[in-house]
């Protein structure tokens, strides 16, 4: 029986661990927190997952919250005018529903399931020196902890990382009591509110420790009017700031949320990081090699909502590569090939995300505006969150955008 160590208990690490466990591998997971500490801690992300990523959970039969979590059937886009108006406002329909399950709920539940099924769970904050010791006892070591010292083992891939500093200041709040959207009260949807030159507000229906909720997620241009959450430690103050900014920049969202309340004391999060692609093989002091997983090696800004989706897809790709390897050694050539298999899909996410962080070119503004005129475009944009590779055919290049718009006009 092959022995595998996974460091990190997030979406990718636990999904991969449960998948390997189901195929008879001897798996150890290292986490710096217990399930109870995670469940009772602070929110970690917004984690709206679309159909392809959710299917990987269904395939492993670990979609424990699918029947409880609200089903997101659309994705809308609004553009704010300087006077508080919405010159652009449309809704695209998803072919398969999306869901957002608070990672406090999911990761705690998955950790407990992994342990109940006989997996070895080690509660220990791993350092590079720890991995150097443990690596000798395992056939493969996977690093799925995207923050802290361990990430320094993986070299930044400058050719794939155009940004060297954070492009957005991030602020999240989970709330109960947000009213249904009046323009489509029967369709739950993620809403992307674009405030030109200022940032973005995402409204995401979700499921948290206390049931159904709505997630308010500000992405602010650094140094701009949304960049006000640094140093704010009081959840009530964070929530109040969130609502004040909604009232100022997206009054249509504030109207729905004016009577909302924070879900719990751990329901806020703020921070920022530079989007970075890293080389997948990490070097240990003794000369051994470890393989990076998900946002350890491809950390995109959350502006396109792809973090958990990419983590799920990475775990699925790595699981397939490990199973196909059989008894052959997990050498560095295999590690690189395994990452390349994931990068085949991740590259589209990185390209799209980095494009959305930049000021939009004229053809993108035209596409976004045309979502009001063409339902097919609105639907295609929405479903691009499920399969970002589709954007290659119509979104990035002016010529392809014009050809697509012409095809819609000819109709």
What does the pLDDT look like over 359-396, one tens digit per residue? Answer: 999 999 999 999 999 999 999 999 999 999 999 999 99
Angle at 103 between CA 101 and CA 104, to 5 degrees: 115
Neighbours of 297 (CB within 10 A): 26
Alpha carbon 159 to its chain's center: 23
Kindly state the percentage of the chain with pLDDT values over 70: 100
Measured CA to CA in angstroms, residue 98 lies from 73, 256, 363, 408 at distances of 7, 21, 28, 26
pLDDT band at 146 (very low <50, low <70, confident <90, very high): confident
Q: Could you tell me if 205 and 302 lie in one domain?
A: no
pLDDT band at 106 (very low <50, low <70, confident <90, very high): very high
pLDDT at 135 over 90: no
CA-wise closest residue to 32 among 3, 8, 51: 8
pLDDT band at 271 (very low <50, low <70, confident <90, very high): very high
In a domain, 315, yes or no: yes
**Cα separation, 29 vs 117, whole angstroms:** 13
Q: Structurally, how many domains does the chain consist of?
A: 3
Q: Could you tell me if 55 and 123 lie in one domain?
A: yes
pLDDT band at 1 (very low <50, low <70, confident <90, very high): confident
pLDDT tens digits for 54-93?
Answer: 999 999 999 999 999 999 999 999 999 999 899 999 999 9
Q: Could you tell me if 282 and 406 lie in one domain?
A: no
Neighbours of 399 (CB within 10 A): 8
pLDDT at 134 over 90: no
Q: Could you tell me if 249 and 173 lie in one domain?
A: yes
**Cα separation, 313 vs 296, whole angstroms:** 14
Q: Could you tell me if 88 and 115 lie in one domain?
A: no
Q: Could you tell me if 145 and 192 lie in one domain?
A: no
In a domain, 332, yes or no: yes
In a domain, 46, yes or no: yes
Domain residues for the domain of 368 are: 362-410
Q: Could you tell me if 267 and 208 lie in one domain?
A: yes
Q: Could you tell me if 120 and 239 lie in one domain?
A: no
Q: What is the CATH number of the domain that holds 250?
A: 3.30.9.40
pLDDT band at 133 (very low <50, low <70, confident <90, very high): confident
pLDDT of residue 345: 96
pLDDT band at 147 (very low <50, low <70, confident <90, very high): confident
pLDDT at 25 over 90: yes
pLDDT band at 164 (very low <50, low <70, confident <90, very high): very high
Domain boundary among 248, 271, 294: 271
pLDDT tens digits for 200-257?
Answer: 999 999 999 999 999 999 999 999 999 999 999 999 999 999 999 999 999 999 999 9
pLDDT of residue 411: 76
In a domain, 154, yes or no: yes
**Cα separation, 340 vs 346, whole angstroms:** 9
Instruction: Please check whether residue 295 is in contact with residue 39, taking contact to mean a CB–CB distance below 8 angstroms.
Output: no
Measured CA to CA in angstroms, residue 382 lies from 77, 96, 377 at distances of 9, 11, 9
Q: Could you tell me if 8 and 155 lie in one domain?
A: yes
Kindly state the percentage of the chain with pLDDT values over 90: 94
pLDDT tens digits for 291-336?
Answer: 999 999 999 999 999 999 999 999 999 999 999 999 999 999 999 9
Q: Could you tell me if 206 and 323 lie in one domain?
A: no
In a domain, 297, yes or no: yes
pLDDT of residue 149: 86
In a domain, 21, yes or no: yes
Domain boundary among 239, 271, 303: 271
Q: What is the CATH number of the domain that holds 16?
A: 3.50.50.60
pLDDT at 118 over 80: yes
In a domain, 67, yes or no: no
Domain boundary among 319, 336, 357: 357
In a domain, 289, yes or no: yes
Q: Which two tokens stand for residue 286?
A: 């003794």
Q: What is the pTM of this model?
A: 0.97
**Cα separation, 44 vs 142, whole angstroms:** 21
Instruction: Please check whether residue 193 is in contact with residue 91, taking contact to mean a CB–CB distance below 8 angstroms.
Output: no
Q: Could you tell me if 251 and 296 lie in one domain?
A: no
Q: Could you tell me if 213 and 245 lie in one domain?
A: yes
| 44-58, 121-135, 220-234: least confidently modelled range | 121-135
In this prediction, residues 275-293 reach a mean pLDDT of: 95
């Amino acid at each position: 029986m092959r022995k595998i160590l996974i460091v990190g208990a997030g979406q990718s690490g636990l999904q991969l661990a449960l998948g390997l466990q189901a195929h008879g591998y001897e798996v150890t997971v290292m986490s710096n927190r217990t399930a109870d500490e995670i469940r009772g801690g602070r929110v970690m992300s917004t984690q709206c997952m679309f159909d392809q990523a959710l299917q990987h959970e269904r395939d492993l039969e670990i979609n424990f919250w699918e029947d409880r979590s609200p089903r997101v059937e659309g994705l809308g886009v609004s553009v704010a005018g300087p006077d508080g108006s919405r010159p652009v406002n449309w809704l695209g329909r998803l072919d398969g529903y999306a869901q957002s399950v608070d990672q406090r709920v999911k990761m705690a539940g998955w950790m407990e399931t992994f342990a109940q099924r006989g997996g070895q769970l080690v509660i220990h904050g791993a350092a590079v020196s720890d991995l150097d010791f443990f690596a000798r006892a395992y056939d493969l070591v996977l690093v799925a902890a995207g923050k802290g010292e361990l990430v320094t083992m993986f070299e930044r891939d400058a050719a794939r990382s155009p940004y060297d500093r954070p492009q957005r200041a991030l602020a999240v709040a989970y709330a109960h009591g947000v009213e249904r959207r009046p323009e489509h009260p029967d369709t739950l949807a993620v809403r992307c509110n674009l405030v030109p030159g200022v940032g973005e507000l995402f409204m995401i229906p979700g499921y948290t420790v206390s049931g159904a909720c709505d997630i308010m997620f500000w992405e602010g241009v650094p140094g701009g009017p949304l960049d006000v959450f640094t140093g704010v430690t009081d959840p009530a103050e964070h929530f109040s700031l969130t609502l004040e900014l909604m009232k100022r920049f997206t009054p249509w969202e504030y109207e729905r949320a004016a009577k909302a309340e924070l879900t719990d004391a751990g329901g806020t999060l703020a921070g920022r990081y530079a989007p970075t692609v890293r080389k997948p093989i990490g070097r240990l002091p003794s000369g051994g090699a470890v393989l990076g997983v998900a946002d350890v090696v491809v950390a995109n800004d959350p502006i396109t909502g792809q973090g958990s989706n990419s983590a799920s897809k990475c775990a699925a790709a790595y699981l397939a590569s490990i199973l196909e390897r059989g008894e052959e050694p997990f050498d560095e050539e295999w590690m690189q090939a395994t990452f390349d298999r994931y990068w085949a899909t991740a590259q589209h996410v990185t390209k799209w995300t980095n494009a959305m962080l930049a000021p939009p070119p004229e053809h993108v503004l035209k596409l976004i505006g045309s979502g009001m005129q063409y339902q097919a475009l609105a639907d295609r944009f929405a479903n691009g969150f499920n399969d970002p590779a589709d954007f290659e055919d119509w979104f990035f290049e002016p010529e392809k955008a014009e050809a697509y718009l012409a095809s819609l006009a000819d109709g």
